Chains A and B, each alone.
Chain A
Amino acid sequence: MKKNKVLLIGWDAADWKLIGPLLAKGQMPALKSLIDRGVYGNMSTMNPPYSPMLWSSVATGKTPDKHGVLGFVEVLPDSSGVRPVTVNSRKAKAIWNILHHEGFKSNVVGWWPSFPAEPINGNIVSDKFQKVKPNPKEKNPIIKGTIHPESKIKDLKDLRLFPWEITEEHILPMIPKASKIDQEKDKGLETFAKILSENTSVHAAATKLMRTAEWDFMAVYYDLIDHFCHAFMKFYPPKLPGIPQENFDIYNEAVIGAYRYQDMMLERLIDLAGEDTTIIVMSDHGYESGHRRILKMPKYPAAPALEHRQFGIFVAAGPNIKRNEKVFGLSLIDIAPTILNIFDLPIGKDMDGNVAVDIFKTPNDLKFIDSWEAIEGDFAQHTTEDKDLLDDAASMQQLIDLGYIEKPDDNKQIAVLKTSCDLEHNLARVLLGKKDIVGAKEILLKLKNDKYPLYTESDFEGDKGKSLTNQGFKAGDSVVNVIPFYMDLLNIALKEKDFENAEGYLAKLRALDRQFELNTSLSEARIMIGKGKYQKALGLLEEAKKKRPNAQIWYQIGIAHKKLSDFNKAKDAFENALKLEMDSAKTHQALADLYLILGDYEEAAVHALTSVELVKYFPEAHYTLGQALEKLGDMGNAKNAFEMAARLTPKTFHRAEKAIENIQEKIKQVDKGEFKYRKDQIIVVSGLPRSGTSLMMQMLHNGGVSVLTDDNRKPDHSNPNGYFEYNPVMSLHKDNSWLHLAKDKSIKVVAPLLKFLSPKYRYKVIFMNRDLTEVVQSQQKMIGKDPNTLPIKLMDAYQSHLNQVEIWKEKEPGVELIYVNYKDVLDNSEAMVEKVSNFTGVNMNKEAMISSVDKSLYRTMGN
């Protein structure tokens, strides 16, 4: 028997949320046995979470823009119609193609998509094998391309289980009250029999090949859990409002039954694989089982995938796999590189995933080549499209039944047009997931701007009309639903803080479909937050929350409260978001950041750690973790966290770099002085208007520090010695690209604009403090108002600015800040000059600085 074998088992949609309790109750003993002798963790999915795309990423180690599988269906090569996606859409080599080239034998069973079977060294039982006609009177020949090699057909054809063979012994363990089903009205049992028989067929073919064919690598894919979830998750406890009690009583154990049956099949596979085999069990995404289950799906393509959760499962066990350890940060694209590494083969540098080295006791050396695609030779790929492979009505119908696709239009041209648009749209979403905003936007704008035919009255006659009406179309509508394009463009505009366009897309969406009211309220609130209208945003979010609370709404409420410096309310909101969606890395990071502000560093560290455990490629969360650990005094791990943040960021992560330098200094304790000169530092004089900032600028100027000023604002009665201002500072919030001009100089920046300083530089901030009443009185006088009438709102706003400066200072590793009291400068100039000189680390002319102080101005400034 061969050694060093790998068995890859795909469980579509398997989710730890359901598996956890079953493991605890001993109801998934096979999976438990693998976990006990192996590693386990989350498997992060990709967007959009459509299974054929995801499983092709698993097989190739590449994202869908590279492997080419972009949806559930594909356009026929002659553009004469559409059909379920086939292996012909895949443009990249799968693991089994590479293994074939390298002389290894593979068995592949049920992979989605794998039809038509590729002529590999080994056996492929494609995803067409298990699909049979439901009517026992109809024949079910194995069609060409279903199995490779064809000589295996005779061994495998009778291993298909037919739905009509399903008995009460198969049904009752999962649906104990099946006898109460009115099969005239409720087709639940038909669905059950179809899914169960298909998966049993896949399993039977897999076990046959495992027993009888020699192999190095074997991949088996089951859609049992996914399809059971789509059919029966709505009946899973707790009962959702809107689900009839009678139906709930009948079907509430079905999903759990599927998990348990899947585990029984796993037991057999483990048994047949033997202990020398490395076994990987994984899913491509999770599945909502709580309050986010959707009873009424929105009417747009692939809407059922809205119930797919971000995290699937990963379990691996084998001779070189660590024991009983949790692993983090795995992604679907890591599987192919990891398997190549097990076989000691090089990884293509053009693969998007990495080898999961953390799972191994002793990892093989990593070897690389530029690309497997560039290697010529026999990879057992199809070279020509077989003209006999026609569109497959039965498989199309199943995709329609699952809700993954709309019924293709009877007009083939329109069907092709719609499918092409869907695939282009999916490509845009893939690019969005890869943060290629420019590429995504280009596709979406084209899709939005293209002119499409419109449905006419005649399209709404007969069955076709009914089908179109059910899909939400009416005469005059574009045959291509453009709403999803606008939704993505809106999200991009929000990401890019392009609020003008965001408002335009929002208006268009509302005009197109009023049913999107809840979603658009959330988007409108995000626009309001972006524009600084936090109260308005909160109003919208409260309204949306009343209709149907969800984690996104609570998250945005938290953001709005945080912007308003209402930190406790923000904390409550983020915690509420986590109650509804406990594995949101984004929310854990936001909460960690908030705990930092509130000074609870332990809680901050816990949430930041949870966040990076959920999503490894999350630089901001690593950074927050570093901040929390630094505050807790764990300098070593803080440095590691900052370094990870910097490593994961494609562009320079300036804050992380500054934080690493700070930590290194703290660890070395080389410079025990509190402050020192920093190369290229920018001395920033800040404070509220009329708090003595011009005086400090003048002192620095006289002390020999270059000042960045354009002298546009001339001295006047209020500031007879000049303002020392620089005009571009006024628009710092829009453009801070000129800051390099301020290196080794001083510059005046009013307090509210400090947060717009680029993290690229090191700043020495001299923050002028002055009694707030005096500040406001001085301002009132300057603008010709009664200095004794104090505007309370303005006072509150100023106090808020001062509080925010304190928070900003703590969060910016490139910022060092001292407070200098204006009155102390007047009364105790010498000491203050000393303080400023020490802080900046610059040798200044102190006498000249002291002589700059003109106490008579204190009176001019409103006193």
Chain B
Amino acid sequence: MAKEKYTINARGSLGLLALGDVGLEKWRKIKQAELDKEKEKNEKK
């Protein structure tokens, strides 16, 4: 099967969840990265 490309953002999607463990883990990573970024920004302020 041809590999499909997914754009993942912190809000996630049903498509990502339907991918199962892989989708869930990737989404959480992106979410965490965004949270970390936000935190860093806030700390700088």
**Using a CB–CB distance below 8 Å, which chain A residues touch chain B?**
158-159, 161, 167-170, 173, 200, 203-208, 211, 261, 264-265, 267-268, 271-272
Contacts of B14 in A (CB 8 A): 169-170, 173, 261, 264
Query: Are A161 and B1 in contact, CB atoms less than 8 angstroms apart?
Result: no
B21 A264 Cβ-Cβ under 8 A:
no
Which residues of chain B are near A265, meaning CB under 8 Å? Answer: 18, 20
Taken together as a complex, chains A and B put the C-alpha atoms of A378 and B18 apart, in Å, by 36
Alpha-carbon distance A201/B22, docked complex (angstroms): 12
* Interface contact B19-A167, CB-CB below 8 Å: no
| Docked-complex contact B21 and A208, CB < 8 angstroms | yes
Q: How many residues of B contact A (CB 8 A)?
A: 14
How far apart are the CA atoms of A173 and B18 in the complex, in Å? 14
Chain B's nearest CB lies how many Å from the CB of A274? 10
Question: Could you say which residues of chain B place their CB within 8 Å of the CB of A261?
Answer: 14, 17-18
Minimum CB–CB distance from B27 to chain A (whole Å) comes to: 9
B16-30 vs A, CB cutoff 8 Å, 1 = contact: the mask equals 011111101100000
Give 23 pairs: A residue, B residue, CB < 8 Å, sorted on A: A158-B25, A159-B24, A161-B17, A168-B11, A169-B11, A170-B14, A170-B17, A173-B14, A200-B17, A203-B17, A204-B24, A206-B20, A207-B20, A211-B22, A261-B17, A264-B14, A264-B15, A264-B18, A265-B18, A265-B20, A267-B18, A268-B18, A268-B19
New contact pairs (16) apart from A167-B11, A200-B17, A268-B19, CB-CB < 8 Å: A159-B24, A161-B24, A169-B12, A170-B14, A170-B17, A200-B24, A203-B20, A205-B21, A207-B19, A207-B20, A207-B21, A211-B21, A264-B14, A264-B18, A267-B18, A268-B18
Complex CA–CA separation, A207 to B24 (angstroms): 11
Contact (Cβ within 8 A) B18 A208 = no
Write the chain A residue with the least CB distance to B19. Answer: A268
A-chain residues with CB within 8 Å of residue B12 when the two chains form the complex: 167, 169-170
How many angstroms between the C-alpha atoms of A292 and B27 in the bound complex? 41
- A residues less than 8 Å from B17 (CB atoms): 161, 170, 200, 203-204, 261
Instruction: List, in ascending order, chain A residues with CB within 8 A of B25's CB.
Output: 158-159
Q: How far is the CA of A268 from the CA of B23 in the complex (A)?
A: 11
Closest B-chain residue to A266, C-beta based? Answer: B18
Residues of A within 8 A of B22 (CB): 207, 211
Q: Among the listed B1, B11, B15, B21, which residue makes an inter-chain contact with A271, where contact means beta carbons less than 8 Å apart?
A: B1
CB distance from A205 to the nearest CB of B (A): 7
> Measured between alpha carbons, how far is A261 from B22 in the docked complex, in Å?
17
Q: Max chain A CB contacts within 10 Å: which of B17, B22, B25?
A: B17
A688 to chain B, nearest CB (A): 74
Q: Do B24 and A169 touch across chains, with their CB atoms under 8 A apart?
A: no
The interface residues of chain A lying within 8 Å CB-to-CB of B15 are 264
Report chain B residues within 8 Å CB of A161: 17, 24
Q: Which of B12, B19, B21, B22: most chain A Cβ within 10 A?
A: B21
CA distance A211 to B13 in the complex (A): 22
Q: Which of B1-45 contact A (CB under 8 A)?
A: 1, 11-15, 17-22, 24-25
**Complex: chain B residue closest to A197, CB-CB:** B17
Distance A170 CA – B13 CA, assembled complex (angstroms): 6
List chain B residues, Cβ under 8 A from A170: 12-14, 17
Question: Closest residue of chain B to A172, judged by CB?
Answer: B14
B44 to A: closest C-beta gap in Å:
26
Q: Which residues of B contact A203 (CB under 8 A)?
A: 17-18, 20
Of chain A, the residue at the smallest CB distance from B16 is: A169
| CB contact between A159 and one of B1, B11, B18, B21 (< 8 Å): that residue | B21
Closest to A159 in B: B21
Most chain B CB atoms below 10 A, which of A158, A167, A169, A211: A169
List of B residues within 8 angstroms of A271 by Cβ: 1
* Nearest Cβ on chain B to A473's Cβ, whole angstroms: 43
Q: Are B21 and A169 in contact (CB under 8 A)?
A: no
Of all A-B residue pairs in the complex, the 4 with the closest CB atoms, nearest first, are: A207-B20, A264-B18, A208-B21, A204-B21
Contact B20 A204 (CB under 8 A): yes
Query: Cβ of B21: which chain A residues have Cβ within 8 Å of it?
Result: 159, 204-205, 207-208, 211
- Chain B residues closer than 8 Å to A204, beta-carbon distance: 17, 20-21, 24
With both beta carbons as reference points, the residue of chain A lying nearest to B13 in the complex is identified as A169
Contacts of A272 in B (CB 8 A): 20
Are A268's CB and B20's CB within 8 A? yes
Bound CA–CA A287/B19 (angstroms): 27
- Shortest CB-to-CB span from A388 to chain B, Å, is 29
Chain A nearest Cβ from B35, distance in angstroms: 12
Asked if A208 contacts B20 (CB within 8 A), the reply is yes
- A208 contacts which chain B residues (CB < 8 A)? 20-21
In the complex, which residue of chain B has the Cβ closest to the Cβ of A167? B11
User: In the complex, A268→B18 CA distance in Å?
Assistant: 7
In whole angstroms, what is the CA distance A208 to B11 when docked? 22
Question: Which residues of A lie under 8 Å from residue B11 when comparing CB positions?
Answer: 167-169
List chain B residues, Cβ under 8 A from A264.
14-15, 18
Q: How far is the CA of A272 from the CA of B15 in the complex (A)?
A: 16
Question: In angstroms, how far is the closest chain A Cβ from the Cβ of B29?
Answer: 11
A271–B15 CA distance with the chains assembled, in angstroms:
14
Q: Inside 8 A of A169's CB, which chain B residues have their CB?
A: 11-14
Residues of B within 8 A of A173 (CB): 14
Min CB gap A30→B, angstroms: 10
Cβ of B18: which chain A residues have Cβ within 8 Å of it?
Answer: 203, 261, 264-265, 267-268
Which residues does chain B contribute within 8 Å of A205, judged by CB atoms?
21
* Chain A residue nearest to B15 in the complex (CB): A264
Q: How far is the CB of A618 from chain B (nearest CB, A)?
A: 39
Residues of the B chain whose Cβ atoms lie less than 8 Å from the Cβ of A267: 18
